[in-house]
Amino acid sequence: QKEVEQDPGPLSVPEGAIVSLNCTYSNSAFQYFMWYRQYSRKGPELLMYTYSSGNKEDGRFTAQVDKSSKYISLFIRDSQPSDSATYLCAMSGGTASKLTFGTGTRLQVTL
């Protein structure tokens, strides 16, 4: 069993929809959580990061962490075609630890 599980999709939604992307993990030591966005034929880029449990909002994006359930989510409001990309979750147990990545969820936002 992988330390981080992520549904690969693809997930197809109409423009303007609310999107929910999720990851589950098994390592209770994880306390730093991130979301990366990867456009086709590009490298991943950091989208959001959170520490420990709770919510963090940045524009149309909200990252949510539930450490008791070992479950993290990324919500995208008013989704746009430009949001079409692969979204990877990543997490770490400490400031000097390496990141463990999920396999990514491919999102397609249609007009």
Partner 1 sequence: NAGVTQTPKFQVLKTGQSMTLQCAQDMNHNSMYWYRQDPGMGLRLIYYSASEGTTDKGEVPNGYNVSRLNKREFSLRLESAAPSQTSVYFCASSDAGRILYGYTFGSGTRLTVV
Residue 34 binding partner 1, by CB under 8 A: yes
Which residues, numbered 44-63, are part of the site for partner 1 (CB under 8 A)?
44-46, 49, 51
CA distance 7 to 51: 22
Coil/strand/helix, residue 43? coil
Dig out the tokens for 9 from the structure: 């999709």
Dig out the tokens for 66 from the structure: 């539930």
Q: Which is nearer to partner 1, 56 or 60 (CB)?
A: 56
What is the closest distance, in whole angstroms, from the C-beta atom of residue 61 to partner 1 in the complex? 15
User: 52-56 — which CB contacts under 8 Å span 24+ positions?
Assistant: none
Residue 105 binding partner 1, by CB under 8 A: no
Dig out the tokens for 76 from the structure: 């995208």
**How would you classify the pairing of strands 11-14 and 105-110?**
parallel
Interface region with partner 1, contact rule CB under 8 A, candidates 22-30, 61-69, 71-79, 84-92: 84-92
Interface region with partner 1, contact rule CB under 8 A, candidates 17-25, 32-40, 60-68, 74-82: 32-40
Query: Which residues of this protein are in contact with partner 1, per CB under 8 A?
Result: 6, 8, 32, 34, 36, 41-46, 49, 51, 88, 90, 92, 94-99, 101-104
